[in-house]
Amino acid sequence: MSEQTHKPGTTHFGFRDVPTGDKQKLVGEVFSSVASSYDLMNDLMSLGIHRVWKRYFVATAQAKRGDRVLDLAGGTGDIALLLRDRVLRSAHEVAQGKEPGGIVLGDINGAMLRVGRDRMTDLGKVAGFEYVQLNAEALPFPDASFDLVTIAFGLRNVTDKDAALREMNRVLKVGGQARVLEFSEVKAEWFKPIYDFHSFNVLPKLGKLFANDSDSYQYLAESIRKHPPQDQLKAMMEAAGFARCDYKNLSAGICAIHTGYKV
């Protein structure tokens, strides 16, 4: 079942129907709760494979030195950190008048942004980053501001996904690329019951054990099942104005990378 099948004036918060205006607050509470254990959360949800997925996601992105990148739902900065070395120019190149490149790490949740900023500071990776608290449905940037826009494991938590996709298209430069990495619909029939058991029986217990928060992990598992499957999300990207839309399943469709281009 996808985000589209709900009563008028409501949307899904996991398996619950809630008033559309309430979802942002409820999602915010989840991520404020899990911010300090976000990396652990991803390890538990993906059995650690999310690190491989993210590296592949960034390695295959259309990014080069001097590019300006917007990483939405940037969270603790995993994607931004991987992208940094691909787009940031050296001080010598900047002195020669070349575009410096850089990454705007955007998230609607202030607690998540603080974790990301503190992480970069601790790693000594301060240069090249901006941090902006924002709503993906109404981005505070002019048209054609970025060469690449990414969102990893965040689109399913956005209330109005269509609006977010249109905004991603709007802020891209012509020829720019949008990339979405998200949990998706498992394609291997034999694996579905195993995956469901892990999601609904194991994951909340792990959340309770490691983060003292089973409810947030229950929501996150449910949110995956409510997210539009691969072909539906591809159609949504096309409707938002993207061209050459395509997707690639990873790990039998546990997650997928969707790509579109600004024309």
**Taking 80 as the threshold, does the pLDDT of residue 245 lie above it?**
yes
Of 192, 214, 212, the closest CA to residue 202 belongs to 214
Give the largest CA-CA distance in the chain. 57
Known binding residue 136? Answer is yes
Q: Could you give the CA distance from residue 175 to residue 144 in angstroms, rounded to a whole number?
A: 10
pLDDT digits (tens, 9 = 90+) for 143-179: 999 999 999 999 998 989 999 999 999 999 999 999 9
Instruction: Record the tokens describing residue 117, joined without a space.
Output: 């900023």
Q: Could you give the CA distance from residue 43 to residue 56 in angstroms, rounded to a whole number?
A: 16
Residue spans of the domains in the chain: they are 15-262
Of 28, 27, 10, the closest CA to residue 19 belongs to 10
pTM value is 0.87
Known binding residue 239? Answer is no
Q: What pLDDT, on a 0 to 100 scale, did the predictor assign at position 8?
A: 66
pLDDT digits (tens, 9 = 90+) for 188-201: 899 999 988 988 88
Q: Tell me the CA end-to-end span of the chain in Å, nearest whole number.
A: 31
Q: What is the DSSP letter of 89?
A: P
Q: What pLDDT, on a 0 to 100 scale, did the predictor assign at position 1?
A: 40
Of 231, 227, 255, the closest CA to residue 245 belongs to 231
Q: What is the DSSP letter of 108?
A: S
Q: What pLDDT, on a 0 to 100 scale, did the predictor assign at position 214?
A: 78
Q: Could you give the CA distance from residue 64 to residue 82 in angstroms, rounded to a whole number?
A: 13
Known binding residue 249? Answer is no
Q: Could you give the CA distance from residue 188 to residue 170 in angstroms, rounded to a whole number?
A: 36
Q: What pLDDT, on a 0 to 100 scale, did the predictor assign at position 140?
A: 98
Instruction: Record the tokens describing residue 184, joined without a space.
Output: 């998706």
Of 254, 30, 29, 25, the closest CA to residue 159 belongs to 25
Q: What pLDDT, on a 0 to 100 scale, did the predictor assign at position 138?
A: 97
* Gyration radius from the chain CA atoms: 18
Specify whether the CB–CB gap between 181 and 257 falls below 8 A.
yes
* Cross-strand partners of 13: 16
Work out the average pLDDT over 65-93: 93
Known binding residue 235? Answer is no
DSSP SS3 for 174: strand
Tabulate helix, strand, coil % of the chain (nearest 5).
Answer: 50, 20, 30
Q: Could you give the CA distance from residue 208 to residue 211 in angstroms, rounded to a whole number?
A: 6
Question: What topology is assigned to 15-262 in CATH?
Answer: Rossmann fold (3.40.50)
110 alpha carbon, distance to own chain's centre: 16
Phi, psi (deg, nearest 5) at residue 90 = -75, 160
At CA 123, angle to CA 122 and CA 127, rounded to 5? Answer: 105
pLDDT digits (tens, 9 = 90+) for 10-68: 676 566 665 776 677 777 677 666 667 777 777 877 778 999 999 999 999 999 999 99
DSSP SS3 for 162: helix
